Amino acid sequence: MTLKAGRHILIAALLVISAQAAFAETRSLDPDALSPALEGRTSDFLAVDLGDGTRCELAGSDLTRRHAPWSTFKIPNFVNALETGVALGPDHWRDWDQDRRPAAAYWPRAWRQGQTLAAAFQRSAAWYFQDVALDVGEGRYRQILEAWAYGNANAPDGDDGFWLGGPLTVSVEEQVAFVGALLSGEIDVAPATLDALFSVSADGALGAHVVHGKTGSGPVEPGRFDGAFEGWYVGWLARQGAAPVALAHYVRAQTFSDLRTFRRDHALVLLEACGF
C-alpha cells in the first residue's frame, strides 16, 4: 500500500463528496414515515452514490460527530493486515493463545479457537485483529490512519484495542468518505486486497444488488454491558451497471438487543428508501 503525502487521500475524497453535494441531488428521509420505527433509538445515516454524488440522509442525522468505530474498524484492519504483509492472504491462520488472550464471558464460541483472517472478519473475532494491530505497530497505524484522514487517527502506543470504545473515533461522514476512497482507488491498495475484502464482506442482497458491510457495537459506558449501547453498520451497495453506493449507519439504543439486528436491517430499509 502506498501512503500518499500527508492527509490528502481521504481529505480529497471528502472534498469530492462535498463538491458533488453542492451540485448533486440530496435526498432527505423522514424517520417518522419509515418502518420499523426508531422506538427510542437514535439513528444517523448517510449514503452516497459514488458515481454522480447523490446523497441520501436520514433527517436529523448528526453526520460529523465522532464515535468509536468498534468492529467496523475491521474493514481498515483487514486491508492493513494484507497490505502490510502481516497476513499473507485471507486464509492466513493464527492460533488462539488462551493465556495471552483469555476469553471474556461475552465471547461467542466461534471466537474461542484459531482463525483465518477471513473467518475472523466474518465472526468479528476481536483478538485476531488485536494481534494484527500489534504486528502492524501503533506508530505505523497512526501514519496510515493520518494519511487516510480516518477520524482522529488516534492509535496510542501499547494499545491493541484503540478502536474498541476509543480513543480512535470517526464520524458517519468520515466512514462514508473512507469507503468511497477505498472503492474508487484514492486509497492505493492491491487489487487482490480489494477482491478479498469484497469476498469476506458480502452480506446479502438488496434487489439485484449485493450488500457489503460490517457491523460494530459496544457499551456507551465502558464495561457496562447491561446499559445503553452504540452500534454501526458500514459498507457499500455493489450495483449492477452502476457505481457503488457507500453508506454508514450509526445507532444508539437502550440495550444491545435493541440494536443487534436493527443497525443492519434499518440501514437496508433506509438504503431502499433512498431509491439507489
In a domain, 207, yes or no: yes
In a domain, 1, yes or no: no
- Give the residues across from 247 on adjacent strands: 47, 235
In a domain, 31, yes or no: yes
| Amino acid 16: pLDDT | 53
pTM of the model: 0.91
In a domain, 122, yes or no: yes
Grid cell of 158 as nine digits: 501499547
Q: Write out the chain's pLDDT in tens, 276 residues.
A: 444 433 344 444 445 554 555 568 899 999 988 877 898 999 999 999 999 999 999 999 999 999 999 999 999 999 999 999 999 999 999 999 999 999 999 999 999 999 999 999 999 999 999 999 999 999 999 999 999 989 999 999 999 999 999 999 999 999 999 999 999 999 999 999 999 999 999 999 999 999 999 999 999 999 899 999 999 999 999 999 999 999 999 999 999 999 999 999 999 999 999 998
In a domain, 127, yes or no: yes
- Cβ 90 vs Cβ 118: under 8 Å: yes
Domain count, the chain: 1
Please tell me the distance from the alpha carbon of residue 18 to that of residue 269, in angstroms, as a whole number. Answer: 25
| Amino acid 23: pLDDT | 65
How many residues belong to the chain? Answer: 276
Give the closest residue to 272 by CA, choosing from 22, 21, 23, 27: 27
CATH number at residue 24: 3.40.710.10
| Amino acid 2: pLDDT | 43
Range of the domain at 136: 8-274
Give the closest residue to 83 by CA, choosing from 192, 174, 182, 156: 192
- Give the residues across from 67 on adjacent strands: 170
| Amino acid 56: pLDDT | 98
- Helical ranges in the chain per DSSP H: 8-23, 74-83, 117-123, 126-136, 138-148, 172-184, 191-201, 262-274
Q: Based on the number of CB atoms within 10 Å of its own CB, is 181 exposed (0-12), middle (13-18) or buried (19 or more)? A: buried
Task: Report helix, strand or coil for 268.
Answer: helix
Please tell me the distance from the alpha carbon of residue 70 to that of residue 103, in angstroms, as a whole number. Answer: 18
| Amino acid 35: pLDDT | 78
